[in-house]
Amino acid sequence: MKLLYFSTTKSFTLILLGIILPFSILNLPPISCFQNETQTRCRDLFNCGELTGIGYPFWGGDRREECGYPRLQLDCENATTTKIKMNGVEYRVLELNPETQIIRISRNDLSRSFCQHEFKNSSLDFGLFDFAGGGYVNLTFLYGCPALVLPVPNQFDCPVKGIAERNGYVEFGTMQLPGMCHVSVVVPVSYASLANFSDVKEVVEQGFEVRFKVVEGGGACGECRSSGGGCGYDVARKQFVCFCPDESVAKSETCVAGAVAVAENYSPLASTTVVAPAASES
């Protein structure tokens, strides 16, 4: 009978590889995970309810912070309502047109109730926004006022901490009689909405239009996306960047051969803080 012989060394090696190899594969580091994920996410657009297809210079939702300008973050509430903060005040985004760069916004707090816990005027960051549309007018919400002899429209009841008077009123402009009321909040509304001034809540909910100034430098974002890249922003260098599929950052704002810088040269992003303005004086 012919005997079969196996090499002990070879068999042992195969067994050892069978044990070590699976663990080695599991422990392999991810391949350029951050850059690939950044490039992919920056090509995704912000979608929330009826507001869809919003890209650079905005970020939020599936768009990471490096995908837009620092102070242009959008938040989606209950998959239906888009919000944005400006100078510490939260607004609902009712419309956003990337082509005209016009956003229609309304005060989120006053849309729910005129009664407030924090009294902050609406103020724009004029480095980012300007008023737009057909013009606007200020409304002043007055709090902690004495009772008037004659009834006035749009009167409401609201307790103010440390103040006995609970009467509140709404008036045009920003002027008020000195010493009458303790706290005021100034809010812009569009001229067009004043046709229905009998319902102040509806006027506030219709909001007002602003135009954002941050643009992509002569269509740089469009060129970046057309070349397969994702639009983003380098906070450290304060400039637009184009994230490319080959894990690089484009020098010429498009992902073309010979026009990219290695990923290591990309400046790390710095966090930003929006400082709320001081409450209005009595």
Q: What is the DSSP string of 113-126?
A: -S--SS-------T
- 250-277 confidence digits (pLDDT tens): 666 788 754 444 333 444 333 332 233 3
Res 213: pLDDT: 85
**CB burial of residue 173 (10 Å; 0-12, 13-18, 19+):** exposed
Which residues have CB under 8 Å from 168's CB, separation 6+?
114, 115, 141, 142, 143, 144, 145, 155, 156, 157, 158
d(CA 116, CA 94): 22
pLDDT in tens, the chain (282 residues): 444 443 444 444 444 445 444 444 445 444 334 445 555 668 788 999 999 999 999 999 888 898 999 899 999 999 999 999 999 999 999 999 988 899 999 999 998 889 988 899 998 888 889 998 777 888 999 999 988 877 777 889 998 888 888 999 988 876 665 568 889 999 998 887 777 666 888 889 989 999 998 765 557 888 888 888 888 888 888 888 888 877 677 666 788 754 444 333 444 333 332 233 333 333
Q: Backbone phi, then psi, for 222, in 5-degree steps? A: -60, -40
Q: Backbone phi, then psi, for 191, in 5-degree steps? A: -60, -40
Res 92: pLDDT: 96
118 CA to centre of own chain: 22
- 40-72 confidence digits (pLDDT tens): 668 788 999 999 999 999 999 888 898 999 899
d(CA 265, CA 130): 35
Say which amino acid occupies 14.
L
**CB burial of residue 69 (10 Å; 0-12, 13-18, 19+):** buried
Res 178: pLDDT: 55
Q: Residue 195 CB: number of other CB atoms within 10 A?
A: 8
* Stated pTM of the model: 0.72
Cα atoms found within 13 Å of the Cα of residue 216, Cβ hemisphere only: 24
Q: What is the DSSP string of 81-130?
A: EEEEEETTEEEEEEEEETTTTEEEEEEHHHHH-S--SS-------TTTEE
Both tokens of 153, joined, read: 């429209």
